[in-house]
């Protein structure tokens, strides 16, 4: 399809004048790089609108920005431990209201589950878990005895591990069943417990507990 190209000379198939420039004219350079990031503009932008209304909306916007940070919907990211604990950090913590969604309007799967908790409720779960695990352990021991009779030590170890795995799974299954009757207070507890690892119910003795240093052991404690 190449055909004659005008015997070695370039010839356009259309009237070149129509594009806007004639032959042999100096054209602007080919652009070889992307346009600059902050190009110079010939015309400066129009100044902003000013007025009472605009000022009020501006103030509203800035206030709103500060307010949303204090709302319970602002989910804080957990910061890693800083190398130096700042004293002021303890006293600059913003007190946030708790927010409990209306669970009737939300899918059930969004409710927090029991097994993720630490605290009194989890102890209850652990207790029930222990109960089932006890029975499971009994089964496991029986199985181990049976297998030892067959005389393959390694195999029984593997089977033991499998049994442990299935024990965990069955424990989780129990927890799931318990979860269907979840109540609202669980969510509260989890909220309050997220701050630290301590179980709230333990230390009820007040501030004096553990305040005595252990360094002065020569002094008698009364």
Partner 1 sequence: MTQAEIKLCSLLLQEHFGEIVEKIGVHLIRTGSQPLRVIAHDTGTSLDQVKKALCVLIQHNLVIYQVHKRGVVEYEAQCSRVLRMLRYPRYIYTAKTLYSDTGELIVEELLLNGKMAMSAVVKKVADRLTETMEDGKTMDYAEVSNTFVRLADTHFVQRCPLVPATENSDPGPPPPAPTLVINEKDMYLVPKLSLIGKGKRRRSSDEDATGEPKAKRPKHTTDNKEPIPDDGIYWQANLDRFHQHFRDQGIVSAVANRMDQVISKWVGQWLSGIFTYLQMWPLAYSQSQHSRVNSEFQFIFQTQTSSEIVRTMLRMSEITTSSSAPFTQPLSSNEIFRSLPVGYNISKQVLDQYLTLLADDPLEFVGKSGDSGGGMYVINLHKALGSLATATLESVVQERFGSRCARIFRLVLQKKHLEQKQVEDFAMIPAKEAKDMLYKMLSENFISLQEIPKTPDHAPSRTFYLYTVNILSAARMLLHRCYKSVANLIERRQFETKENKRLLEKSQRVEAIIASMQATGAEEAQLQEIEEMITAPERQQLETLKRNVNKLDACEIQVDETIFLLESYIESTVKRQ
Nearer to partner 1, 62 or 135 (CB): 62
Nearer to partner 1, 98 or 215 (CB): 98
Nearer to partner 1, 75 or 217 (CB): 75
What's the min distance (Å) between Cβ of 114 and partner 1? 12
Nearer to partner 1, 102 or 218 (CB): 102
Distance CA 103, CA 185 (A): 12
Could you tell me if 12 and 22 are in contact, meaning their C-beta atoms sit under 8 angstroms apart? Answer: no
What's the min distance (Å) between Cβ of 89 and partner 1? 12
DSSP per-residue letters across the chain: -----STTS---SS-GGGTT--TTPPPPPPP-SPPPSS---SSPPPPPP-SHHHHHHHHHHHHHHHHHHHSTTSPPPPPPPPSS--HHHHHSPPP-------GGGS-GGGSPPGGG--SHHHHHHHHHHHHHHHHHHHHHHHHHHHHHHHT-HHHHHHHHHHHHHHHHHHHHHHHHHHHTT--HHHHHHHHHHTT-S--TTT--S-TTTTTS-SS-TTSPP-
Nearer to partner 1, 40 or 214 (CB): 40
What's the min distance (Å) between Cβ of 91 and partner 1? 11
What's the min distance (Å) between Cβ of 57 and partner 1? 5
Nearer to partner 1, 74 or 198 (CB): 74
What's the min distance (Å) between Cβ of 181 and partner 1? 12
Count the neighbouring beta carbons within 10 Å of the beta carbon of residue 171.
Answer: 19
Binding site for partner 1 (CB under 8 A): 13-15, 18, 20, 41-43, 45-46, 48-49, 53-54, 56-58, 60-62, 64-65, 67-68, 71, 73-77, 101-102, 104-112, 116, 180
What's the min distance (Å) between Cβ of 198 and partner 1? 19
């Amino acid at each position: 399809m190449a055909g004659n190209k005008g015997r070695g000379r370039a010839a356009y198939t259309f009237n070149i004048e129509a594009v806007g420039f004639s032959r042999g004219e100096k054209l602007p350079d080919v652009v070889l790089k992307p346009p600059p990031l902050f190009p110079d503009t010939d015309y400066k932008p129009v100044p902003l609108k000013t007025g009472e209304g605009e000022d009020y909306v501006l103030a509203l916007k800035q206030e709103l920005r500060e307010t949303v940070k204090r709302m319970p919907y602002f989910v804080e990211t957990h910061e890693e431990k800083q190398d130096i604990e700042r004293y002021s950090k303890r006293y600059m913590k913003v007190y946030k209201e708790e927010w409990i969604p209306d669970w009737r309007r939300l899918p059930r799967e969004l409710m927090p589950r029991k097994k993720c908790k630490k605290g009194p409720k989890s102890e209850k779960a652990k207790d029930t878990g222990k109960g089932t695990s006890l029975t499971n352990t009994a089964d496991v021991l029986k199985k181990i005895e049976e297998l030892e009779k067959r005389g393959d030590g390694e195999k029984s170890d593997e089977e033991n591990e499998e049994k442990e795995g299935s024990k965990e799974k069955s424990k989780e299954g129990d927890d799931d069943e318990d979860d269907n009757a979840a109540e609202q207070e669980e969510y509260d507890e989890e909220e309050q417990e997220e701050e630290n690892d301590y179980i709230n119910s333990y230390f009820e003795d007040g501030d004096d507990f553990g305040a005595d240093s252990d360094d002065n052991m020569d002094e008698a404690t009364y």
